[in-house]
Amino acid sequence: MKLSDIERHDTDILILGTGGAGLFAALHAQQTAPEGTKITIAVKGLIGKCGCTRMVQGGYNVALGGGDTVERHFMDTIEGGKWLPDQDMAWRLCEQAVVRIRELENEVGCYFDRNPDGSLHQKAFAGQTADRTVHKGDLTGIEIINRLMEKVLASGVEKLQEHRAVGLIPTKDGSALAGVLMIDMRTGKFRLVRAKCVMMGTGGGPTMYKYHTPSGDKTMDGLAMALRAGLPLRDMEMVQFHPTGLLAGDHTRMTGTVLEEGLRGAGGQLISHAGQRFMFDYDGKGERATRDVVSRGIYAEMRKNNNPEQEGVFISMSHLGPDTVRARFPGMVKRCADSGFDLVADKVEVVPTAHYFMGGVVVDIDTRTAMEGLYVAGEDAGGAHGSNRLGGNGVANSTVYGGIAGDVMGRDVAGMSLREPDETVLEAEFARAIYPLTRTPDLVLPLRKKLQDLMWEEVGVIRTEAGMKRGLRGIAEVSDVLMDVGVDDSNLAFNLTWHDWLNLRSLCDVSKVIAQAGIMRENSRGAHYREDFPDDGGIENSEFTVARMVGETVEVTNEPVVFSVVKPGETILPEGEPETLVAAQ
Amino acid sequence: MTSETLNVTIDRGAAGLQDYAVPAYDNQTVLDVVSWVQQNADPTLSYRFACRVGMCGSCAMMVNGVPRWTCRTHISKVLDGNAVTIGPLRNLPVIKDLAVDMDPFFDKWVAAEGVHHGAMTRDDPIASLGDDHPEQSGADFGRECINCSICYAACDTVAGNPNYLGPAALQRAWNLLNDAKDEGRMAILEAVSGTGGCHNCHSMGSCTTYCPNELDPMSAIAGLKRETAKSFFKRGR
Amino acid sequence: MLTLRLYMLQRITALFMAPLVIGHLAVMIYAIQGGLSAAEILGRTQGSFAWFVFYGVFVLAVAIHGAIGMRTILHEWGGLRGPWIDLTMWLIGLGLFALGARAVWAVTFSGGSI
Amino acid sequence: MSAHGITSRAHPLWLAYILHRLSGLALALFLPLHFLLLGQALRGEAALDQSLAFSDMFLVKIAEFGLVFLLAVHMFGGLRLMAMEFLPWSPSQKTLAAGATATSFLIAVLFFMKAI
Ligand SMILES: Cc1cc2nc3c(=O)[nH]c(=O)nc-3n(C[C@H](O)[C@H](O)[C@H](O)COP(=O)(O)OP(=O)(O)OC[C@H]3O[C@@H](n4cnc5c(N)ncnc54)[C@H](O)[C@@H]3O)c2cc1C
Ligand code: HEM
Ligand code: SF4
Ligand code: F3S
Ligand code: FES
């Protein structure tokens, strides 16, 4: 394959990814862009059928009155993120969620669950001080994405499905983005899509961990591309673990998938390998403590056990009675049964599982990045959640900021023109993508497993400097070996093994940054827990990490958090407001 | 545990049927079997999946002649002895091996007016729809559809009649017809009464039988037939 | 390829035919006792306006109904596409009607001979 | 072709569908013959009698049994279908489908017994 084989394609607005961020960007760009603007949506899978927004179970956080306020939602977000969030971004998130939920109901056609009086039903996730989470049963993501997907499919945007973005191609002077290099996965051919504005919404996805929840298409491609393009990334050490991922062995893709949070809320018990309940040893709230606390409890318990046959702990629901379990969690019971487990009467083995990536590209509140023409929204963008994302704030974030990106691009595009790509970067990105095709074919999977084990062991739920350094060495090793693993190039059409290779390359690149940023943060905040630095390092002096590629190496620095809305120890809630509006369980 | 071997036959289109010996493990889904082949035996094998928990609807294939979501189908459920045959989903063009082009399915979804029609905006309050809105009861009918196309693959009418919109798209149309917030009634009735409309359905019920989410497109389509018949008499067409 | 109109026609003719079929079957079961003979059949039907209407409606309905049904089958199983579909439907319908009408005329008003 | 096509559709509603279709098809093919036969009346009673003499033959009896059976099957199948479509649907329709086929079979057998 030669550089000249790259097909060239132009559009006005290009959107990468079709999660909440990508689909909302497409809709909003259509609403604000001048008549005749060409909008293209490119995605690694099928439109609306990949990514994590579709997998959202619990719901969507939005303050809709009944005592709850945007201020309260904001304070919960800041407290939850342990004062690391970018406060302007968090504020905009909470404020705009109110608009976005009305848009979802009134314009997009979602139909969320109602109270008997006809108002939206809202519930409280752990870490929230009000009943705030709007939902559709426990399949909220399907409702949101299906409705958005229909709208976008019917809107006539240009579709580039199963197009994988492999490189951001800047202009010669590097100040602006010229286009994105992609592989048309169905044919294996390359396509350079130039656009005046590009929104990246590829959704992060910490799938470099042995146990992980995100969909298979998410492999940190966006952040790896941003890194190579020289963009600053923040909070890269912040990986959220969900406490109860299914543990079903190495040989199944089911391993790591989420067993719903509600199981613990309803009284599900966690049982150690020794047959004991243990969560009360770690926290007064027991199994009902927040995700990070329970994840650490389980991890600590797992370390005590050296029986290789039984790695995780168990969740047991049977004491609630079979009828109750079946009635309250029909979806979970069926899912477990399909995979051969009995959630009703038996205990099911679980393990903490990497769920969400708080870190991401540094953006302003309009989703603009340091590179003209590039906008980033959703899980790819850093800042809104700080060190911990509240359950329900993820989909709020992707839909709110995806919409904002669409609005902003629609307005910006009029003043922009197509730019000439830097052909040397293009050549380098092309060479990088076809590199494995020039080597002797070998298996990719064992290396992926190796990276996943390493990240789980050394850069996982509980971290130490020594561990993360070991992790870094291991990542370097995997990266090196990967460069000797080739892919059979006899047929590049829908060649998943080639994409497995490219996935692993993105994961290695970002894993390294996670470990580096983790070493940099010598304190424990939210999802980042250092056994060697267990305290929070002083909230008033909060800093966040920023990583960027300088030459061939990644440099991590600390930057102070600007408390632009509220200072530690203070609140923006009116005086006399109760601490929580949620009735104790 | 791994002493047993599964005889897996995969339909690879032009390359014909190919046999693979796949080690059996506990907790193995059909998707895991297919993945094993690609990851260990034949790196050129193509298939599609994303969520791996039955939410995205992108992993459906024909398994022993039955359309199934492979990520949620335990292999023990489909083994015939220790053999299983896997092919691409029926009624859709094959891209390569086990990956099909789902565009026709979604084009029909849109053609059935399977998209919200409303005049309300983000500046309006959210509609109050509760127990006092019995007409909304059908608005939840089939909403959990994951557009996996299994019903579409199961339906013989789709196989014989390329214009037929198919069960999932029509179910969405019925869903919208019952949604008090939707204002597209006329457009929907029009869309489902055309040459590819609901009247082509023979109520053979394979859609309802094979839907992995236990949805019931057949009844939704019967609903559309009733509504269009009513409008037939009303408008005297 | 069925539109609302063809669908309604097929259902309406089917509803019409249901009592006629039951009637026809009943008569046949009665008639078949002791063997069939032309005289018996014709004796009942000849000159009877009621039987003419009975079988006339039947034939009309069956022609429409059968033609629409065959149209579907030929489209789905026979791979018939485009304008051929409707052409074939009309041919089958008219053919059925012609044959049926001839038979009805024969057993009712032909007077047993021409 | 078990890899590609659907091979297992043996559920009651599909069987009802295929039975309905095959019976409809058979009826549509037979009906012209039946009409031709009756049309013989045009050529006088004798001709009709000659034709009807066939119906004493066992084979023809079987064929006629088949026809009545087909008509009955098709009619009940059709009524079942219309009930399903037009009456608010209930899950008991599968039973209905089975019942319809059974009834039609009964009628046909009754007819057959009487004929012999
Ligand atoms: C199991 C699960 C449950 C969750 N539950 C909740 C919840 O209850 N509440 C909540 O608020 N949040 C929840 N989340 C988090 C939430 O899903 C995410 O925060 C949010 O959906 C991210 O949206 P996004 O648009 O940024 O990315 P995604 O929805 O993940 O979309 C990313 C898109 O980018 C595409 N893509 C990736 N790489 C490339 C590439 N190289 N080229 C082109 N396209 C690419 C993907 O295919 C996909 O289409 C959950 C997550 C998971 C995994
Ligand atoms: C009481 C009598 C009858 C009733 C109630 C009846 C009912 C029906 C119905 C409801 C259908 C639609 C099936 C579908 O859409 O799947 C149908 C189809 C059909 N009917 Fe009848 N019918 C009757 C008599 C006849 C007769 C006498 C013939 C002979 C020509 C006939 C031939 C057909 C054919 C060929 C089809 C198409 C089958 C298909 O599409 O699968 N029907 N019938
Ligand atoms: S109705 Fe069922 S089978 Fe059909 S697409 Fe939806 S979920 Fe899949
Ligand atoms: S299988 Fe097909 S024919 Fe109708 S009932 Fe379902 S759509
Ligand atoms: S992979 Fe998503 S439904 Fe199977």
Is the same domain home to B111 and B59?
no
Cα of B144 from ligand 3 centre, angstroms? 8
Q: Which residue of A has its CA nearest to B107?
A: A153
Pairing of strands A60-61, A133-134: antiparallel
Instruction: Dihedral sign for Cα A359, A361, A362, A364, please.
Output: negative
The answer to whether C25 contacts D110, with C-beta atoms less than 8 Å apart, is: no
Angle between helix axes C49-76 and D12-39 (nearest 10 degrees) is 130
> Is the domain of B45 the same as that of B140?
no
D24 contact residues in B (CB cutoff 8 A) = none
* Among B108, B221, B121, B214, CA closest to B175: B221
Contact partners of B by the rule of 3+ C-beta pairs under 8 A?
A: A, C, D
Whether D11 and B206 lie within 8 Å, measured CB to CB: yes
- Residue to substitute in C57, C60, C65 for testing ligand 2 pocket (most ligand atoms within 8 angstroms of CB): C65
Three-state secondary-structure class, residue A171: strand
Chain C nearest CA to B127, separation (Å): 33
Grade residue B1 by pLDDT with cuts at 50, 70 and 90.
very low
Who among D1, D14, D84 is closest to B222 (CB)?
A: D84
Q: Report H helices in A191-266.
A: 221-228, 262-265
Both B130 and B94 in one domain: the answer is no
Residues B130 and B226 in one domain: yes
Task: Name the residue at shortest CA distance from atom 8 of ligand 3.
Answer: B148
Angle at C98 between CA C97 and CA C102, to 5 degrees: 110
Asked whether residue D45 carries a pLDDT value surpassing 80, the answer given is no
Shortest CB distance from C99 goes to which of D39, D45, D46? D39
pLDDT in tens, D96-105: 666 766 676 6
Mean pLDDT (chain A) is 95
Shortest CA distance to B143 belongs to which of B126, B168, B125, B118?
B168
Chain B residues in contact with A136 by the CB 8 A cut-off are 143
What are the tokens at D76? 């009940």
Q: Which residue has the higher pLDDT, C44 or B155?
A: B155
Q: Cβ of B145 and A153 within 8 Å?
A: no
pLDDT of residue A491: 94
- Residue range A507-516, pLDDT digits in tens: 999 999 999 9
**Which of B52, B72, B100 finishes a domain?**
B100
Q: Has residue B57 got a pLDDT over 60?
A: yes
Please report which confidence band the pLDDT of residue A274 belongs to, taking 50, 70 and 90 as the band edges.
confident
What's the confidence (pLDDT) of residue D103?
Answer: 73
**How many angstroms separate the CA of residue D42 from the nearest CA in chain C?**
5
Using pLDDT thresholds of 50, 70 and 90, give the confidence band for residue D91.
Answer: low
Mean per-residue pLDDT for A354-374? 98
Ligand 4: which atom is nearest the Cα of residue B154?
Answer: 1
Residues B180 and B73 both lie in one domain = no
Q: Which residue has the higher pLDDT, D91 or A46?
A: A46
The CATH number covering residue B153 comes to 1.10.1060.10
* pLDDT class of B76 with cuts at 50, 70, 90: very high
Distance of residue C86 Cα from the nearest chain B Cα, in angstroms: 12
The answer to whether D94 contacts chain C (CB < 8 Å) is: no
Of the three residues B100, B124, B148, the one that is the final residue of a domain is B100
- Residue A264 appears among annotated catalytic residues: yes
Collect all residues of chain B within an 8 Å Cβ-Cβ radius of residue D17.
202-205
Strand partners, B121: none
Average pLDDT over residues A377-398: 96
Q: Which of A242, A273, A463, A505 is catalytic?
A: A242
- Cβ of C106 within 8 Å of Cβ of D111? The answer is no
Q: How far apart are CA B62 and CA B29, in angstroms?
A: 14
| CA–CA gap between residue A553 and residue A226 (Å, rounded) | 14
Cα–ligand 2 centroid distance for B193 (angstroms): 20
At residue D43, the pLDDT reads 66
- pLDDT at res. B31: 98
Delimit the domains of chain C by residue range: 2-108
A450-478 pLDDT, tens digit each:
999 999 999 999 999 999 999 999 999 99
What's the CA-to-centroid distance between B69 and ligand 5, angstroms?
Answer: 7
Which tens digits make up the pLDDT trace of A229-270? Answer: 999 999 999 999 999 999 999 999 999 999 988 899 889 999
Together in a domain, B65 and B165: no
Q: pLDDT (tens digit, 9 = 90+) per residue, A514-533? A: 999 999 999 999 999 999 99
pLDDT tens digits for C17-61? 999 988 887 777 676 665 666 566 677 777 788 889 999 999 999
One domain for residues B61 and B29: yes
Going by C-alpha positions, the residue among B69, B77, B64, B76 that lies closest to residue B52 is B69
Among candidates B26, B143, B172 on the partner chain, residue whose Cβ is nearest the Cβ of A249: B26
Which residue would you say has higher pLDDT here, A494 or D109? A494
Cβ(D68)–Cβ(C28) below 8 Å: yes
- Position D108 pLDDT exceeds 70: no
pLDDT at C114 over 50: no
Whole-model pTM: value is 0.95
Regarding predicted confidence, which is higher, D74 or D83? Answer: D74
The answer, yes or no, to whether residue A108 has pLDDT greater than 60, is: yes
Give me the mean pLDDT over the B39-48 stretch: 96
Query: Looking at residue D112, what is its pLDDT?
Result: 59
Task: Tell me the CATH class for C2-108.
Answer: mainly alpha
Residue that terminates a domain, selected from B58, B76, B100: B100
Q: Which of A19, A330, A331 is nearest to A146 (CA)?
A: A19
A191: annotated active-site residue: no
Q: Are B21 and B94 contained in the same domain?
A: yes
Residue A581, exposed/middle/buried by CB under 10 A (0-12, 13-18, 19+)? middle
**D18 at the C interface (CB within 8 A)?**
no
Domain hosting residue D59, numbered range: 12-115
Q: Looking at the structure, do residues B91 and B138 belong to the same domain, yes or no?
A: no
Question: Which residues have any ligand 4 atom within 6 Å of their CB?
Answer: B 154-155, 157, 167, 201-207, 217-218, 221
Beta bridge partner(s), residue A381: A361
Cβ distance C8 to B229 less than 8 Å, yes or no, reads: yes
* CA dist., res. A287 & res. A263, Å (int): 10
| 3-class state of residue B104 by DSSP | helix
| A120 contact residues in B (CB cutoff 8 A) | 126
> What digits encode the pLDDT tens for the residues A84-107?
999 999 999 999 999 999 999 999
Residue D19 lies inside a defined structural domain of this protein? yes
For the segment B94-103, the average pLDDT, to the nearest whole number, is 98
* Residue B94 and residue B109 share a domain: no
What total of structural domains would you count in chain D?
A: 1
Which residue has better confidence, D101 or A363?
Answer: A363
Question: Which ligand has the shortest distance to the CA of B67?
Answer: 3
Q: What is the pLDDT of residue D66?
A: 74
- Mark yes or no for CB contact B44/A443 under 8 Å: no
If you take atom 3 of ligand 3, which residue's CA is the nearest one? B211
Ligand 3 atom nearest the C-alpha of B57 is 8
What distance in Å separates residue D7's CA from the closest CA in chain B? 5
CATH of the domain at D63: 1.20.1300.10
Distance from the Cα of residue A165 to its chain's centroid: 17
Work out how many domains chain B is built from and give that number: 2
**Who among C3, C7, C75 is closest to B160 (CB)?**
C75
Q: Which of A264, A419, A528, A548 is catalytic?
A: A264
| Residue C44 contacts residue C109 (beta carbons within 8 Å) | no
Instruction: Look at B154 and D9 and tell me if their CB atoms are within 8 Å.
Output: yes
Residue numbers of the domain that contains B64: 5-100
**C 47-76 residues with CB < 8 A to B:** 72, 75-76
Q: How many CA atoms lie within 13 A of B67 on its CB side?
A: 29
Residue A499 has pLDDT above 60, yes or no: yes
Closest residue by Cα to atom 4, ligand 3, is: B151
D10 Cβ under 8 Å from any chain B Cβ: no
pLDDT in tens, A127-160: 789 999 999 988 999 999 999 999 999 999 999 9
Any C CB within 8 A of D53 CB: no
CA–CA gap between residue A52 and residue A395 (Å, rounded): 9
Chain D residues near residue C113 by CB distance under 8 angstroms: 44
Same domain, B193 and B222: yes
Pick B195's closest partner by Cβ from C3, C11, C72.
Answer: C3
Is D4 within a domain? no
* B120 lies in the same domain as B73: no
Q: What is the mean pLDDT of chain B?
A: 93
- Give the mean pLDDT of B194-223: 95
